[in-house]
């Protein structure tokens, strides 16, 4: 399944070039064209799915199968101390390309790649109430 309007489907089809890192039947990994750290790599399913929850279990399994190996190679190649895996889902969450993808972002102490983590505390009882609503949906 591919989407003719999708830039990542065009990369999978070979119509747009990429710096390929890894490929198997299910997955393609390539260098991000606008890195936020050296080695920033994207891992995508070859089939078009918009968001993570829309992926088939086979695709999710295929990504799980190789992402650890790709991460290890990226981190070792750029000699990073750490990494983030980021998957933006939906425009409000910062997803610009509507073909699901995992960012592998190598990190080092003090690199300032991400700003403050905006943590806050729930009101009394609010976490229990939201947790119950989520459990009902599972
Ligand atoms: P997101 O905001 O999570 O949708 O991220 C989309 C990512 O795709 C960005 O980090 C872009 O730099 C990257 N990107 C867009 N077009 C290309 C391309 N042709 N080759 C490689 N990476 C791309
Ligand atoms: Zn696509």
Name which residue sits closest to atom 11 of ligand 1, judged by CA: 34
Q: How many Å is the maximal CA-CA distance in the chain? A: 54
Q: Where are the domains of the chain?
A: 7-137
Name which residue sits closest to atom 13 of ligand 1, judged by CA: 32
pLDDT at residue 118, rounded to an integer:
93
Distance 53 CA to ligand 2 centre (A): 15
Identify the band that residue 135 occupies on the pLDDT scale cut at 50, 70 and 90: very high
pLDDT single digits (tens) 9-28: 999 999 999 999 999 999 99
Opening angle at CA 39, ends 73 and 110, nearest 5: 105
Q: Does position 3 have pLDDT exceeding 90, yes or no?
A: no
Q: Which atom of ligand 1 is nearest to the CA of 36?
A: 10
Mean pLDDT within 31-36: 98
Q: Does position 1 have pLDDT exceeding 70, yes or no?
A: no
Report percent pLDDT > 90 for the chain.
95
Catalytic site residue 48?
A: no
Closest CA to 101 of 65, 50, 58, 56: 50
pLDDT at residue 79, rounded to an integer:
98
Q: Are 42 and 20 in contact (CB under 8 A)?
A: no
Report percent pLDDT > 70 for the chain.
99
pLDDT at residue 24, rounded to an integer:
97
User: Of all helices (H) and strands (E), which one includes residue 12?
Assistant: helix 7-13
pLDDT single digits (tens) 48-78: 999 999 999 999 999 999 999 999 999 999 9
Distance 94 CA to ligand 1 centre (A): 11
Which residues touch 105 (CB under 8 Å, ≥6 apart)? Answer: 36, 37, 40, 83, 84, 85, 86, 113
Please give the CATH superfamily to which domain 7-137 belongs.
HIT-like (3.30.428.10)
């Amino acid at each position: 399944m591919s989407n003719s309007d999708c830039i990542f489907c065009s990369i999978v089809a070979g119509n747009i070039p990429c710096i390929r890192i890894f490929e198997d039947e299910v997955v393609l990994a390539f260098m991000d064209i606008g890195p936020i750290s050296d080695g920033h790599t994207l891992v995508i399913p070859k089939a078009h799915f918009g968001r993570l929850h829309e992926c088939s279990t086979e695709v999710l399994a295929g990504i799980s199968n190789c992402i650890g190996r790709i991460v290890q190679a990226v981190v070792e190649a750029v000699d990073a101390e750490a990494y983030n895996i980021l998957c933006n889902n939906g425009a409000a969450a910062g997803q610009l390309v509507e073909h699901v993808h995992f960012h592998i972002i190598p990190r080092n102490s003090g690199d300032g790649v991400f700003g403050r983590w905006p943590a806050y505390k729930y009101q009394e009882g609010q976490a229990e109430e939201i947790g119950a609503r989520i459990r009902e949906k599972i």
